[in-house]
Amino acid sequence: MKAMVVRAPGGLDRIECAERPDPGPPGPGAIRVALHASSLNFHDLGVATGGMRAADGRVLMADGAGVVEAVGEGVTEFAPGDNVVSCFFPDWQDGAPTIPDFSRTPGDGIDGFAQEFVTLPATAFTHAPRGFTHLEAATLTTAGLTAWRALVEDGGLKPGDTVLALGTGGVSIFALQLAKLAGARVIITSSSGEKLERARDLGADETINYRETPEWGARVRELTGGRGVDHVVEVGGPGTLPQSIGAVRVGGHIHLIGVLTGRGGEVPTALLMAKQARLQGLIVGSRRQQRDFVRALDGGGLRPVIDRVFALEELSEAFRHQEGAGHFGKIGVEW
């Protein structure tokens, strides 16, 4: 079967299509899945370019969606023909987070889903939302679940809250959609006027061009009558965190999700203390949280925003499109 792998030490020119043995039928507790889609995340790009130092020949991609072909003895949650979507942390079933690294994350510590078939424990998947295509379902594993955990599971999002989302990538657009479904007000940032218009079409109440308004934390306070926002979906890291702390209300919640501007930097600790804000780092979520997310999506009202779709063999081109930072929402791969 076909699989897209990256050769050490990494690089987009070192991604190749390889032949891998068929994984075979499922044993007890396992399922065999015919995969049909994945979607790109910043973490996947880090693996592909060598920043995450994955093993030579690692099959790429943390996100995977497809259809169950066979189930092993003892499996009752799934049946042949069910549409399923993968879990980012297949060993984190429920409870408080205990996994500090990516050693068991598909597409990084273990082989991922850029391949035609997998046979894995049933607990490495959940059902896909009703009516979703494989491509839509494949956007949930990383970006969708991250936004859900941040705002709903950890943040307790409620009607009337105000949410600030940074940028228009996958997590931020999911955050926008989830917040509007919950009856919240949303402010979103971007350096592109065109993207901000698209965000308004999705329901964003206020938009800020951060190149035109570099002190956007102060602008957020103006837009909230001096109060600040209840939630900040912080994907930038050290380059944006000071502005995010300035934008959050006293006692608010900053969900630290990404490190797009670097892995370390100064934190204005006095301001953070004065805000008495909760600054919480998080990485995706558990299988139980994903199941709750899927049940919420079964109710309708939200469909993932997909910017562009590539074929499996075009994975390198898909990553180059991602590097260009011109996308809005998710970049998909389908086969």
Burial 210-232 (b: 16+ CB within 10 A, else e): beeeeebbebbbebbeeebbbbb
Contacts 24+ apart (CB under 8 A), 225-230: 228/252, 228/275, 229/162, 229/163, 229/164, 229/187, 230/155, 230/161, 230/162, 230/163, 230/184
Give the per-residue pLDDT at 175.
98
Against a cut of 0.85, is the pTM above it? yes
What pLDDT digit, counting tens, does each position of 71-112 carry?
999 999 999 999 999 999 999 999 999 999 999 999 999 999
Give the per-residue pLDDT at 238.
84
41 vs 258: which has the higher pLDDT: 41
Average pLDDT over residues 143-149: 98
In order of 17, 95, 155, 237, the CA distances from 259 in angstroms are: 30, 25, 20, 4
46 vs 269: which has the higher pLDDT: 46
Name residues whose C-beta falls within 8 Å of residue 159's C-beta, 6 or more positions apart in sequence.
182, 183, 184
DSSP 8-state code for residue 161 = -
Contacts 24+ apart (CB under 8 A), 127-132: 127/77, 127/78, 127/82, 127/83, 127/84, 127/85, 127/291, 127/294, 128/65, 128/83, 128/84, 128/85, 128/294, 129/294, 129/297, 129/298, 130/298, 131/300, 132/83, 132/297, 132/303
Say if 2-139+304-334 and 144-281 have the same CATH topology. Answer: no
Give the per-residue pLDDT at 267.
78
53 band by pLDDT with thresholds 50, 70 and 90: confident
Q: Which two tokens stand for residue 46?
A: 């880090």
118 vs 260: which has the higher pLDDT: 118
Burial 235-261 (b: 16+ CB within 10 A, else e): bbbeebbbbbbbbbbeebbbbbbbbbe
Show me where the domains of the chain are located. 2-139+304-334, 144-281
What pLDDT digit, counting tens, does each position of 218-246 carry?
999 999 999 999 999 999 888 899 999 99
Supply φ then ψ for residue 136, to 5 degrees: -65, -45
Average pLDDT over residues 321-333: 96
Across the chain, what does the average pLDDT equal? 96
143 band by pLDDT with thresholds 50, 70 and 90: very high
Give the per-residue pLDDT at 261.
62
Query: Contact 203/180 with Cβ under 8 angstroms?
Result: yes
d(CA 180, CA 213): 24
Across 53-57, 176-180, 183-187, 316-320, least confident range: 53-57
Which residue in 306, 297, 305 sits closest to 181, CA to CA?
297
260 band by pLDDT with thresholds 50, 70 and 90: low
Q: Distance from first CA to last CA of the chain, Å, rounded?
A: 13
CATH architecture, domain defined by 2-139+304-334: Alpha-Beta Complex (3.90)
What superfamily would CATH give domain 144-281?
NAD(P)-binding Rossmann-like Domain (3.40.50.720)
236 vs 175: which has the higher pLDDT: 175
Give the per-residue pLDDT at 262.
63
Could you write out the three-class secondary structure of 127-146?
ECCCCCCHHHHCCHHHHHHH
Q: Which amino acid is at 328?
A: F
